[in-house]
Amino acid sequence: MLQYIIKRILEMIPILFIVSILIFFFTHLIPGDPARLVAGKDATLEEVTIIRAELGLDKPIWEQYGSYMNHLFHGNLGTSLKTGLPVMDLFVDRFMPSIYLTLFSMVWALVIGLLIGTLSAVFKNKWPDYFGMVTAVSGISLPGFWLGLILIQIFSVQLGWFPTGGAEGWKSYVLPSITLGAGIMSMLARFTRSSLLETLKADFIRTGRAKGLKESVVIPKHALRNSLIPVVTIAGLQFGFLLGGSVVVETVFSFPGMGRLLIDSIAFRDYPVIQAELLLFSLEFILVNLLVDILYSFLNPKIRYVA
């Protein structure tokens, strides 16, 4: 297993290399000229040309890529065109809040989603099922910006329990996490329900009951574990997407996260920030995938990885 993990981590190097090429060239394909944006609306052509040379944007693109990679290998993500600050400094304040927000959203979505899904399957076509599925459909259907605003209105403005925005202390994470996790919780609940219903039809469930086991043993011990593979797949994908930051939720809650930074950078054609951020997301996504694959082998002993 350890050998397999090491192999997978080594495999990340060529993947990230290819990803870096794609990111670099596609970023430069975005229409618009950063030099003009830096120089301002009223700048003359000469001023723009000077600025372009300063930023190194006048060089051939492969040369620009070479110097970008050179900096990357030295741990230098570059300097933001817009703010003139090192990209690293921009990330420091935003990266951890984004990670925390993702983790909180994921954890509650998983716990509640699995719970609702399991209860819905066990009490199929009874009131816990109806209640659970109505909750799930609402969770998927409510748009994030709307749910976020409603939560702010009720819990921040009216009750004053939580701050309306920012990322100061655990309280400021509560409402954004609820907003961000609602859709994922609903999806997980639905997947858990349908997967568990399928498993409950299996012969080995009947075997368990024929042994004299209680339902409270048969369901969690025999049925649930056999139903988790599709749930883990979906949870992994969603986790990967969440790590990329959420523009909507970050905007609604004025949350200093990676999502808004990315959107702002794209608007300003801030190449170094866009490139660094996309590369980071790719890395996170690959790591989450590795985590999902490792989880698979714990859930299903037939899946055994060989290095």
Partner 1 sequence: MEKLLQIEKLETEFTKDKQALKILHGVNFHINKGEVLGLVGESGSGKSLTSLSIMKLFKGTSGEISGGRIQFNDQDLTNISESDMRKIRGKQIAMIFQEPMTSLNPVMKIGEQLLEPIRLHLGLKEKQAKAHAVSILKKVGIPRAEEIINEFPHQLSGGMRQRIMIAMAISCNPQLLIADEPTTALDVTIQAQILDLMKQLQQKENMSVLLITHDLGVVAEMCDRVVVMYAGRVVEEADVFELFESPKHPYTKGLIGSVPKLGQKKEKLDSIKGNVPDPSNLPKGCKFAPRCNNVMPICYQEEPPDLKLENGRSCSCWLYKEERGDICV
What phi and psi values does residue 306 have, to the nearest 5 degrees? -115, 140
The string of DSSP letters for 155-167 reads: IIIIS--S-SSS-
Segment near partner 1 (CB under 8 A); pick from 25-33, 47-55, 181-189, 197-205: 197-205
Residue 117 contacts partner 1 per CB under 8 A: no
State yes or no: residue 296 binds partner 1 (CB under 8 A). no
Q: Which three-class secondary structure state does DSSP give residue 79?
A: strand
Q: Does 302 bind partner 1 (CB under 8 A)?
A: yes
Binders of partner 1: how many residues, by CB under 8 A? 24
Instruction: Candidates 209, 233, 241, 251: give the one binding partner 1 (CB under 8 A).
Output: 209
Taking the CA atoms of the chain, what radius of gyration do you get in angstroms? 24
Position 213 contacts partner 1 (CB under 8 A): yes
Q: Does 195 bind partner 1 (CB under 8 A)?
A: no
At its nearest, how many Å lie between partner 1 and the CB of residue 246? 34
Query: Is 206 a binder of partner 1 (CB under 8 A)?
Result: yes
91-108 exposure pattern, b = at least 16 Cβ within 10 A, e = fewer: beebbebbbbbbebbbeb
Give yes or no for residue 207 binding partner 1 (CB under 8 A): yes
226 binds partner 1 (CB under 8 A): yes
Can you tell me which of 78, 132, 208, 245 binds partner 1, judged by CB under 8 A?
A: 208
201 binds partner 1 (CB under 8 A): yes
Match 């076509």 to its residue by tokens: 125
Single residue of 202, 237, 266, 287 touching partner 1 by CB under 8 A: 202
Q: At 56, list the tokens.
A: 């190194």
Token pair 């060989």 is found at 306
Tokens representing 121? 């399957």
Cα separation, 167 vs 173, whole angstroms:
7
Contacts of 250 (CB under 8 A, 6+ apart): 176, 256, 257, 259, 260
If the CB atoms of residues 102 and 227 are measured against partner 1, the closer one turns out to be 227
Is residue 118 within 8 A of residue 219, CB to CB? The reply is yes
Residue 271 in contact with residue 28, Cβ under 8 Å? yes
Stretch that binds partner 1, among 4-12, 149-157, 207-215, 230-238 (CB under 8 A): 207-215
120 binds partner 1 (CB under 8 A): no
Report the residue from 215, 220, 267, 307 that binds partner 1 according to the rule CB under 8 A: 215
Residue 126 binds to partner 1 (criterion: CB under 8 A): no
CB of 200 to partner 1, least distance (A): 6
Taking the C-alpha atoms of residue 66 and residue 59, their distance in angstroms, rounded to an integer, is 11
Would you tell me which residues interact with partner 1 (CB under 8 A)?
200-215, 221-222, 225-226, 299-302
